Structure 1
């Protein structure tokens, strides 16, 4: 949608996905490096997390498509108007196409988690493809647009295509925490930048930006770097917080396990003594 809400919806989706991926991957990394010894089987909670992620992607994509298509001034599933010989709301159709491929990613994530018959890495391949389609659509989204409009969308392509390449690397390099956290950072960057686009092009309050002024282009370029810095700080803070919580929580789990072992050992010793006394 060509309004602030049309950019806030995908912005919220990407922000949530970025924070979710960061939290999920740091929990899995902590388990692999600190708790996996003697526990070769993946905890069931990790599978639930993958199902939640895939289900959220499917649900959010469905909501996004419905909003883009059936909003008051939307195309309502009409692509071509034969009466006027013209396309109908192609911008809404482009956004719907973007959501469609993220829905495919969600289905791939669920399928990979549910069945061992699906090759490992198909979900990351689908994510890479969804990001590529998003960038591909936005690349041709800004032709013949005002200077600031085209520039602010082109900066989004930087985050999108790098995230696509990162997801593609994960198809071949599994469980690399640097790649995983970097991907979460790029999703947060995308989310905040969608909001920035909405505030610049469709400000909910205040004066409208001059889209032909070169100084505004320079400021927006610098602003993108600030968004990247904030995304990196947010990922770092989230990782530190989750790591601290996991460390304290895992310590309590170990205490409980040690207590249970000691109790079972004492019970076993008492049982052996009783059996010996019965034999005597």
Structure 2
């Protein structure tokens, strides 16, 4: 069982990183020759002291959330009984802390790789390290000690699917280092994951609970099977709406960046494609 804040905080981090990744990938693609494009697992913010801001957000956000899970949520009651058994009442917090530790380690390793000589990893290697962090998240939500059932389980199933897309796109970045589609899909998947955390928070723990279902204690209960199925249908529509929203954002980023930073070769390619389309359209009209 989670909470509204417990979903909004990680959702904010994923959403910020994902949207920045989408914008950066598009700008890098349109501002340079397409053949020179390279996939990046993280994207610099300018060239000054803010250059590594994304990595600081990942490492700092993961560390702060990890402290909340392990220190605040558990009230430092890690063990129970004389035998020192791990407190079963806080297994959920321990699992979340382990997942966040992986993202924290990824951020620290990436910072050390960029700013020191101790861990000179290539971008492909950093992609695989990031994929390992997403794998830990996938395993957490798939084999969660908290038994997600009913409508709550369906929302977490969709989240697992989105995390799987993050794993696939991040691993693909290591093996297809010149693919704009792979780099863009990675940012889209991370953005969707962040948005779905928000959607889960507002639906299951906020004002958007489907009719016929309610938060009862620590469980989401529905009055009937039909109410639960209706809630799942609504979840499908919500996910589709978020996909459409991200698609519109990608188109907006491409339109703005192409007009502002567009490389001459890309502009020439667009002009040639438009001319060919107009010619083909004219021929089809003449034939009719």
Q: Please classify the TM superposition score into its range, dividing by the shorter chain length.
A: 0.7 to 0.9
Larger Rg: 1
Query: Measured at CA, do residues 80 and 162 of structure 1 come closer, stay the same or move farther in structure 2, by a change above 3 Å?
Result: same
Q: Report the equivalent of 1:70.
A: 71
Post-superposition offset of 1:203: 1.4
Is structure 2 residue 139 aligned with structure 1 residue 139? no
Q: Report the equivalent of 2:181.
A: 178
Post-superposition offset of 1:220: 1.1
Which residues in structure 2 correspond to 1:25-104 (within 5 Å)?
Answer: 25-33=25-33, 45=46, 51-71=52-72, 74-82=73-81, 86-104=87-105
Number of matched residues?
A: 240
Post-superposition offset of 1:247: 4.1
Q: Report the equivalent of 2:261.
A: 246
Residue deviations 1:91-112 (CA, integer Å, cap 9, x gap):
2222222211111221232233
Q: Report the equivalent of 2:205.
A: 202
Post-superposition offset of 1:51: 2.1
Q: Name stretches of at least 5 consecutive residues in structure 2 with no aligned partner.
A: 37-43, 215-220, 223-227, 264-288
Q: Report the equivalent of 2:241.
A: 226
Q: Name stretches of at least 5 consecutive residues in structure 1 with no aligned partner.
A: 37-42, 249-280
Query: Measured at CA, do residues 243 and 152 of structure 1 come closer, stay the same or move farther in structure 2, by a change above 3 Å?
Result: same
CA distance, structure 2, for counterparts of residue 5 and residue 65 of structure 1: 14
105-114 or 183-192, larger mean C-alpha shift: 105-114
CA distance, structure 1, for counterparts of residue 259 and residue 94 of structure 2: 44
SS at match of 2:112: helix
CA distance, structure 1, for counterparts of residue 212 and residue 63 of structure 2: 32
Post-superposition offset of 1:178: 0.9
Residue deviations 1:59-88 (CA, integer Å, cap 9, x gap):
1111111222333xx114443322696424
Residue deviations 1:160-211 (CA, integer Å, cap 9, x gap):
1111011001112113211111111111111111011112221158788344
2:134 touches 2:163 (CA, 8 Å); kept in 1? yes
Structure-1-length-normalised TM-score = 0.75
Query: Measured at CA, do residues 205 and 13 of structure 1 come closer, stay the same or move farther in structure 2, by a change above 3 Å?
Result: same
Q: CA RMSD in A?
A: 3.0
Query: Would you tell me which structure has more helix in proportion to its own residues?
Result: 1
